[in-house]
Amino acid sequence: MARIVLPPDATARTLGIPIREAEVHAAVAAVASDLLPKPGPEGDLVVAEELALAYGRPDIVAASVDLALFRRWRTKRIAPCTAPLALAAALALAKLGGEAAIEDFANREANGVARSRLRRSVGTLVELGWVRRSSDKVVLRLAPGEALQAASGVEAKLNNWRRAARQVQSWEPYVDAVWLAFPATYVKHVPRTVALRRFGLISVADGAASIIRRPSGLRARGVRHVLLEQHIYARWLNVTTRLPQAASAAAD
């Protein structure tokens, strides 16, 4: 399993992180492979710091990713898509076998009010290289969500478990497991209530992280799963190559 650590984007970096909190982040990142849901997937391990999602930003995301698919998308000049409506359209097209006549797709997936938004979403997918037009059909060029196998998110703090739990709620639906990480001297102050037991708990002492308990909860599905995949793909793509200016018009 390859291990890739993706640093924060310059525009998304949280400024002024205390040194002690940064040390907690580093200790958690070192055990990232142990944070994925069990049994662990077989993909490549990708660790992304400060991954900015639509409504929140986990301190660390540990994900099992099929990097071969990411490389294939990059070669095909498929750009990341983080627009929920466009991703919903892509998932609907995937359920139809990956291709459909444009009018049939519009009639099936939209009512009169939403039809224009659906057409704009398809246009967005064409521009990003997700979809190509073939005669009167639209054809999906990738399987949305296929590259991301599983992901865990971590909120790391020096103290204040209440604040950590509040921040988790903004991004919890996007991941398969949620963890809270604190210095060992503070962990004893975290309540063992039913509401908090759905979060995993990590203790950090002398630069080393120890798992106190594993999380429980539902796994991310649908658009939210694909959104996380695409945010990771965008960060990976930004690190490995310049973002394509336009989607390729070439056939698959």
Q: What is the pLDDT of residues 110-162, one digit of tens each?
A: 655 577 788 889 999 999 999 999 888 999 999 999 999 999 999 999 999 99
Angle separating helix axes 222-240 and 67-75, nearest 10 degrees: 70
Confidence (pTM): 0.89
CATH 1.10.10 domain locations along the chain: 83-141
pLDDT in tens, 27-44: 999 999 999 987 766 889
For 161-190, what is each residue's pLDDT tens digit?
A: 999 999 999 999 999 999 999 999 999 999
CA-CA distance, 239 to 242, in Å (whole number)? 8
- CA dist., res. 154 & res. 192, Å (int): 18
CA distance 110 to 31: 45
**CATH code, 83-141:** 1.10.10
